[in-house]
Structure 1
Amino acid sequence: MPSLADLIHPVSPDRFQNEIEGRVPLHIPAEGPVADARRALLDWDTFNGLLNQSSIWTHSTLKLVHSGQPLDPEAYCSEVQSMSGPVFRPSPARVQVMAAMGATIVANDVGALTPALRDICSTLRHAWAASVAANIYCSFKGVQGFGPHYDTHDVFAVQTEGEKVWRLYRNREPDPVDYPGEGEEARRYLASACGPLMQEVRMRPGDVLYLPRGWYHDALAADGPSLHVTLSVTPLYGRILFRLLESAAMQDPAFRAWLPPAGKDEGKPLADQLADLGQRLARLTASPAFAREIAMTQERLMGRGADYRLPERPALTAYAPTGLLPPAVRGPAAVAMEWALSQPRFALEDMIAQFDFVPEADMRAAVDAAVKAGALKPVQ
């Protein structure tokens, strides 16, 4: 499933962006060959194969939920001996006993565990310049895993095995970035805040359900065991400005100056200084340099990623600075070159691996230009 168009077919990406995204839920029934690709995202054999890799799971990544409440890890985890000593891991036998009692199995952070999951996560990551996570939900007829709730990210739920009924409620939290917490008090709040039932959606293998963040919902396996993958999409939002602005603003001496007492001259000196700082912040956020900083932060969210190719090992290309000034470098590659010129010697491949939020082609071009200018020289 290499493209967003495949995931939401027959809805076009343009229509999705202009009419659906961030506005309303969308149920996309299975249709044609693309639906087969959606179903192939995860089947029972693949899921069991992942669970059988018991050493990769912890009580944080493999959770059990029953009737809206998470089960205590003591109910399904056991201490086992490993080469590094005793560890607390989910017990396959105990997990299956809990499943027989109706518990929902939630496998978190599985986006890198199969090629199909890696591909769809990469697709969504680059479509939204976002962090993308994949979770698997295995549930059983008639027992509800989670009560009414909302998510702090957009959701694409892909039904791959069995059927599940999703209930969508009328209310929506406005662009939430935090959750009310856990426990009975939080569950009562969510149950009262969700509002009346708006729609029931019966998800079948190959169906996709899109939910904007903040939309209240819950789900229940319909007639038997159900397996679905939830893809959560979390782009940057305005809060990131406060973190990035702090380091950028401190380069300006005006932000390092003392603030006058609030009571001096009826507060006028303080008001004037705050107004000046506000204008400086406005100019800073409107600058191309700050836009590049945001772009680099988005690239950090997405990452470049790389697959292992062992026993092959990359050939390393080493350079050393000569002390001469290189040509000016613009954009994110300037950060990588600043690092390179501060090293007594470095490997280009290490630079590319470290700065995975900078386009590789830009770094190679900057290094080539520095070599031609005599600022870098190849070394053995």
Structure 2
Amino acid sequence: MNSLDELLHPITPDRFLADYYGRKPLHIPAEAGTSRAALTDWTEFNALLSQTPNWTPETLKLVMNGAGIPPEFYCEDTDGPAGKRLRPAPAKVEVFLSSGASLVANDIQGLTPKLRALSEGLGHAFSGKVGANAYLSFGGMRAFTTHFDLHEVFAVQVEGEKRWRLYENRAENPVGFPVPDKELIGWFERTRGRPMVEVHMRPGDVLYVPRGWYHDAMAQPGASLHVTFSVTPLHGGALFGLLETLALEDPAFRAWLEPAEADAGEALARQLADLGGKLTALAQDPRLASAVAIAQQKLIDRPPAYGLPHRKPLTGYRRTTVPPPPFTGPVAVAMQWAFGQPDFAIEDLRAQFTFVATEAIDAAVETALKAGALTRA
């Protein structure tokens, strides 16, 4: 399972994007022969947890009744190359689990081939950052109280069963929370509204919960294990940083702002109107669209592809005196770098710009080669 299509089947991606994405939750029960429950299992999950040196208090957390258990209660100091570090102690973790705690394994999207493949597929589907967390709970226990997330949620039940409760209220496109962390639990309970629907999740089921939708979940009798994929694309706030880079190329944006107290503020008003017009023009500048495309591509994780003991041959190119052809989009940044070198290997070019599709780089180099701007080294 490595694509949105496979995750949502039998719902098509087109129907999902048109009817559900960013609009309302979607529960997809498992079908006979589905591979979704095979995303991981108890054997593989236990093996991952047993790799103790790879876990930290940030990536392996214990939670009980909505509150995190302090790391010093389930971790130990261990010696390593960087000195002493806290590491989860399996025996202590098991004691807390026996006492009713739930376990959260964060950032597991790169730990197995199946998790890597689906994470990359979702990243490409939404041009966003994808994370994966595993949640282990036992019957009647709730790891987290009612809340909403700041990202899109795709939950895959892989072992046991869990009941999710979705509420009628939803925050509109949240990018943060309006109250301090210590006040969040009470604020969520006051603002969640009435229960809207309960979803009983079984192995192979998928639940999509849009950003900002209030929900909570509780394991059913026995042990429950599910993996949540969080998808976080760029939002409009990212434009401010991208616009700043382009705007400061214009001396008008580097000029001092007129004093607000002078001339009853009229000079400042005229200056702001002028700058506003320039910002409108910049919003239509193809360079901004290209910068957005690059920023989106940088969010997508590309799984490693080691092929040892085979060593990949290096294919060298050298620039000539012929001017390079024009390039647009993210590949233009890569080719600008390439033509800034006296010679380069295309393998190094791909490695320097992993956010640019390999096919786009290969096509651009071939175009430059045919134009006579490059020659084989």
Q: TM-score, normalised by structure 1?
A: 0.93
| Deviation of 1:131 (Å) | 0.8
2:242 paired with 1:244? yes
Quick check: 2:120–2:303 contact (8 Å CA) kept in 1? no
Aligned to 1:74: 72
2:296 paired with 1:298? yes
Instruction: Choose the corresponding residue for 1:55, options 7, 28, 53.
Output: 53
* Letter of the structure 2 residue corresponding to residue 24 of structure 1: K
Aligned to 1:4: 4
Q: Which moved more, 1:80-89 or 1:70-79?
A: 80-89
* Letter of the structure 1 residue corresponding to residue 258 of structure 2: P
* Letter of the structure 2 residue corresponding to residue 8 of structure 1: L
Q: CA–CA distance in 2 between the matches of 1:355 and 1:235?
A: 20
Q: CA–CA distance in 2 between the matches of 1:182 and 1:363?
A: 46
2:132 paired with 1:140? no
Q: CA–CA distance in 2 between the matches of 1:303 and 1:28?
A: 26
Q: CA-atom RMSD, angstroms?
A: 1.9
Report the CA distance shift for 1:184/1:247 in structure 2 as closer, same or farther (over 3 A). closer
Q: Which moved more, 1:184-193 or 1:318-327?
A: 318-327
Q: Secondary structure at the match of 1:50?
A: helix
Q: Secondary structure at the match of 1:157?
A: strand
* Letter of the structure 1 residue corresponding to residue 6 of structure 2: D
Quick check: 1:326–1:369 contact (8 Å CA) kept in 2? no
Instruction: Choose the corresponding residue for 1:131, options 129, 132, 138.
Output: 129
* Letter of the structure 1 residue corresponding to residue 210 of structure 2: P
Q: CA–CA distance in 1 between the matches of 2:302 and 2:349?
A: 13
| Deviation of 1:318 (Å) | 3.1
Report the CA distance shift for 1:268/1:111 in structure 2 as closer, same or farther (over 3 A). same
Q: CA–CA distance in 2 between the matches of 1:268 and 1:179?
A: 37
2:193 paired with 1:198? no
* Letter of the structure 2 residue corresponding to residue 20 of structure 1: Y
Aligned to 1:307: 305
Q: CA–CA distance in 2 between the matches of 1:304 and 1:293?
A: 20
Q: CA–CA distance in 2 between the matches of 1:245 and 1:58?
A: 38
| Deviation of 1:109 (Å) | 0.6
| Deviation of 1:23 (Å) | 1.2
Aligned to 1:186: 184
Describe how 1:101-116 pairs up with structure 2 within 5 A. Answer: 101-116=99-114
Q: CA–CA distance in 1 between the matches of 2:67 and 2:128?
A: 29
* Letter of the structure 2 residue corresponding to residue 366 of structure 1: A
Aligned to 1:166: 164
Q: CA–CA distance in 2 between the matches of 1:338 and 1:90?
A: 46
Instruction: Choose the corresponding residue for 2:276, options 267, 275, 278.
Output: 278
* Letter of the structure 2 residue corresponding to residue 64 of structure 1: L
Describe how 1:28-67 pairs up with structure 2 within 5 A. Answer: 28-34=28-34, 37-67=35-65
| Deviation of 1:296 (Å) | 1.3
* Letter of the structure 2 residue corresponding to residue 128 of structure 1: F
| Deviation of 1:104 (Å) | 0.7
Aligned to 1:27: 27
Quick check: 1:284–1:290 contact (8 Å CA) kept in 2? yes
Q: Which moved more, 1:195-204 or 1:70-79?
A: 195-204
Q: Secondary structure at the match of 1:356?
A: coil
Q: CA–CA distance in 2 between the matches of 1:186 and 1:303?
A: 31
Q: Secondary structure at the match of 1:226?
A: strand
Unaligned runs of 5+ in 2: none
Unaligned runs of 5+ in 1: none
Q: Which moved more, 1:61-70 or 1:315-324?
A: 315-324
| Deviation of 1:15 (Å) | 2.2
Report the CA distance shift for 1:367/1:5 in structure 2 as closer, same or farther (over 3 A). closer
Aligned to 1:356: 354
Quick check: 1:64–1:106 contact (8 Å CA) kept in 2? yes
Aligned to 1:225: 223
Quick check: 1:303–1:356 contact (8 Å CA) kept in 2? no
Quick check: 2:316–2:344 contact (8 Å CA) kept in 1? yes
Q: Which moved more, 1:334-343 or 1:136-145?
A: 334-343
2:231 paired with 1:261? no
Give a deviation string over 1:330-350, Cα, whole Å, max 9, x none: 322221122223334432211
Q: Which moved more, 1:157-166 or 1:78-87?
A: 78-87
Q: CA–CA distance in 2 between the matches of 1:134 and 1:181?
A: 26
Report the CA distance shift for 1:255/1:183 in structure 2 as closer, same or farther (over 3 A). closer
Quick check: 1:320–1:346 contact (8 Å CA) kept in 2? yes
Q: Percent of pairs identical after alignment?
A: 52
Q: CA–CA distance in 1 between the matches of 2:145 and 2:25?
A: 18
Quick check: 2:2–2:119 contact (8 Å CA) kept in 1? no
| Deviation of 1:76 (Å) | 0.7
* Letter of the structure 2 residue corresponding to residue 186 of structure 1: L
Number of matched pairs? 377
Q: Which moved more, 1:65-74 or 1:120-129?
A: 120-129
Aligned to 1:154: 152
Q: Secondary structure at the match of 2:39?
A: coil
* Letter of the structure 2 residue corresponding to residue 10 of structure 1: P
Q: CA–CA distance in 2 between the matches of 1:179 and 1:49?
A: 36
Quick check: 2:151–2:210 contact (8 Å CA) kept in 1? yes
